[in-house]
Structure formats: structure tokens, C-alpha cells
Amino acid sequence: MPAAPDHWQFCLKALNEKPGFSGPETLGTHGPDPFFFYGQVPWKKRADNSRAHDFAEWLHDAPPSEVLGPLVRSAQNIQDEKEKNNSLHTSEPESLRALAFRFLKGMVFHYLLDRNIHPWVYWSIGFNNELNPDPPSRIRHARFEAALATLGPVPQEEMVQYSQSPRIMLHGEKAWFAAADALFTSAFPDRYKKGMYEASFNDMKTVLLFIWDPLAIKRKIFDAFGAHDSLPRSMIQPVITKEFEKRDYRNAEHKQWLMPSTGTEQYESAGDLVQRALEEAKEAEKYLNQIEADIIEKDGSQQTEQKKQNLSRIKYNPKVLEFISWLGNLNHEGCAPGEVMKYWKGIVKENTL
């Protein structure tokens, strides 16, 4: 999971928006990652945190047909009720369905960035399904992505100043969380509990604000207490280190690396991978806009009972099947079902950053 700043900025670029924009898309663009933070605030323990963590793992590992397919169908079937939306950019109430599609768009953006850039990350950290048990691989993963977020995956791209608080990218509103609830409870009733996304997001926000360290003070405190190799320490941002002078985190030199699951030769830089993900995001947005437009068109002049009957048939919309087919079968790690990551060459050591 590329660090939150990368996902947030990727979403803004995909939407052609600038920092300051906030909407259901910028909430959804955190994808399944908030579920990993559920119950991880020491003073706010939650009894069912394993349920949220298992859900997060499954959302990352499953192919799009099992995750995004049900979410799109859930968005289609949401009743067109108005929700109060206090977004800075929307004065009129939006329907719950419209908010759900916007949130879903952010979820898709998250997935597309993950599947494109994760192979480079896993190759770089020396991940191997059989040889690298957790937590060491998680720590290397978090450190690499913290460094990439600090640098920015694309050279010379305007980044958010690290003197600012990360609150700018961690904004949510009641109506947006209601849309997320409607999607997840409908698509995954056996895995999701109402309110879990909002609780997870709030826990993620607390953790990310706690480890935000532009003055490099908190990392020194972690180190003083012997916690240099802890997962929280590895996530601290921004990374202030001379490591950047010695390592090409972006592969700006376009050196050869291998796809971790297949061994296929690659030469793309992180910037190339982001650009490919952006092109896919534009295409995905077209699909989702058309699917939503079809519902509005069919919904137009129908009476209430006819609307319900029509919505029950919409889930078989061939455009949804076309969209899922276009997405393919790669999961968030960039692996097809049954594939394992076995090709690697690590550049991030345990005692760096």
C-alpha cells in the first residue's frame, strides 16, 4: 500500500484537482488501508480488530471480480436518497448513490496505483513469500514507501510541503461514511460491520498524525527506547535522511528489475508506473461514469415500484461485466490468482531510514 500521501496526490491528479479539494473520492482513495489501523490506537482498543484486519488482507489479496465487482453492483442498487453533504465544493445535497459512486471511484484509483507500483516495491525490499516472514517484510515495505512518499514517486513533481499537517489528506464527512457503509454492508455483509470504515479511518488518522515527524524528533525517541525496528517507527514521515543520496528509490536510471511473481524483465521507473496507473484511472472513470449515467437514465420517469424492479435488473448491466473484465485479475500486489512473489533483489536494509 503506497503511503497515504501518494494515494491522495494520485487521486487529485486523476481528478485534475489541486490540494484543497476534498470529496468522497479522496476518502475512498485510501482504499482498504484504513482497516489495517482498526484498533491500533493504544488508548482506543476495539474488541473485533482481527475482523477488520482479516477483511483488509482479503480486500488486498482477492482479484477485482471479487471486490470491485460486488462494490459496483452495490452502488447501482442504492436507493436514490438525498444526503446532507458539507463538502467545500458541493452546496446542494447529493444522493447517497452519487456519493457511493464517487467513493467507489477513489477505491478504484487506490487499487490501480497499488497494482502498478507494488511489484517495484516488493522487488526493491527483497520480499519473498517463503523466505520473508512478517513482521520484517512489513517493516521494509513501510520504510520504502515512506521514503517514496517523501521523495514523491515522480521527480520534480510539486509535492505537499511537509511543514503542513497531513490533516489536509485525512478529511471525511458523515455523508461520505454513510456511502461507504452502504457499499460495504451490501457487498460484504458477512465480513463488514456497519460503522467499521469510519472507525478504521479515524484510527488511521490518529496514528498518521501521531507519527508525523517533520522535525525528526519522534524517530529519535523511538530509537532511544530500542524501537528502531518497530512497524510504527518504520512508517514515520517525512523521511529525513541522506539515504536518498545513495539509493535510487524511483529507479530514475531505468535499470532492469524483475516482476516479483513472474520474473519478467522490467525497466520502468516509479514515475512510469504512476503514469500508467493514471492512464488506467482515466479509463476506469469513463466506465464508472457510464454505469452511473445508465442508472440515472433508466431511473428518470419510472414510478416508485417500477424503479425498484428496474434496480433489481440493473445488477446484470453488461457494462459492469465489461468493466470488471477490463480490470483483469491482478490483485493489489500485482499478482494473478495462484502466483507467488519469488524474484527479488532488496535495496532496503533493516537498519536504514
Which alpha helices (DSSP H) does 260-303 contain, by range?
270-299
Q: What is the pLDDT of residue 104?
A: 98
Output DSSP code: residue 247: -
φ/ψ of residue 266, rounded to 5: -130, 155
- What average pLDDT score do residues 79-102 get? 70
C-alpha cell at 4: 497515504
Residue 304's CB: how many other CB atoms inside 10 A? Answer: 7
Q: What is the pLDDT of residue 290?
A: 94
* 206-235 confidence digits (pLDDT tens): 999 998 888 888 888 988 888 888 888 888
Q: What is the pLDDT of residue 264?
A: 93
* 227-277 confidence digits (pLDDT tens): 888 888 888 888 766 656 668 889 999 999 999 999 999 999 999 999 999
Cα separation, 40 vs 33, in Å, equals 13
Q: What is the pLDDT of residue 341?
A: 86
| 283 has a pLDDT exceeding 90 | yes
* 104-127 confidence digits (pLDDT tens): 999 999 999 999 999 999 998 887
Instruction: State the pLDDT confidence band at 88, using cuts at 50, 70 and 90.
Output: very low
Q: What is the pLDDT of residue 242?
A: 62
Averaged pLDDT of the chain: 84
Coil, helix or strand for 3? coil
